Amino acid sequence: MATVEQVEQALADLLARLDDVDEDTRVLLPTRRTLEARCPDLDLVRYAEWRSGTLHLVDGPHARPADIRISVRSDDLLRMTNGELGFSRAYASNRVRLDASMADLLRLRAVL
């Protein structure tokens, strides 16, 4: 099992990767969505907002349920961020649980 520090670094790396996409890809990102990311093996939950194609971490939960909810074990998150495990493969094998609208699923798949 990964540590909380490793997961925090993986999330920071993922944010940096999403912020470094080209303009054609950025158009595919949601304009305004709330996100909840959960690592159940560490009992860790982080919240973020997607605003105008940029993802920002926020301190606490949103007033309403998140638009996009992702749950992934810490080791799988690390494998995904370092390129050992692709998002599509992780999703297809139930290593990543994703609760979102179909449009948001397609957008996420395009950038992850």
Place of tokens 């961020």: 81
Average pLDDT over residues 49-59: 81
Query: For domain 4-111, which CATH number applies: 3.40.190.10, 3.30.1050.10, 3.30.160.60, 3.30.460.20?
Result: 3.30.1050.10
Q: How far apart (Å, rounded) are the C-alpha atoms in residues 52 and 98?
A: 22
- Band (44; pLDDT cuts 50, 70, 90): very high
Tell me the one-letter amino acid at 103. Answer: A
Q: Say yes or no to pLDDT of 18 above 90.
A: no
Tell me the one-letter amino acid at 105. Answer: L
Q: Say yes or no to pLDDT of 112 above 70.
A: no
Tell me if the pTM is above 0.95.
no
Delimit the domains of the chain by residue range.
Answer: 4-111
- Band (72; pLDDT cuts 50, 70, 90): very high
CA geometry: angle 94, 100, 106, nearest 5 deg: 85
Length of the chain: 112
Which pLDDT does position 5 carry in this prediction? 94
Which position has the higher pLDDT, 86 or 26? 86
**Across 4-8, 61-65, 80-84, 106-110, least confident range:** 106-110
- Band (111; pLDDT cuts 50, 70, 90): low
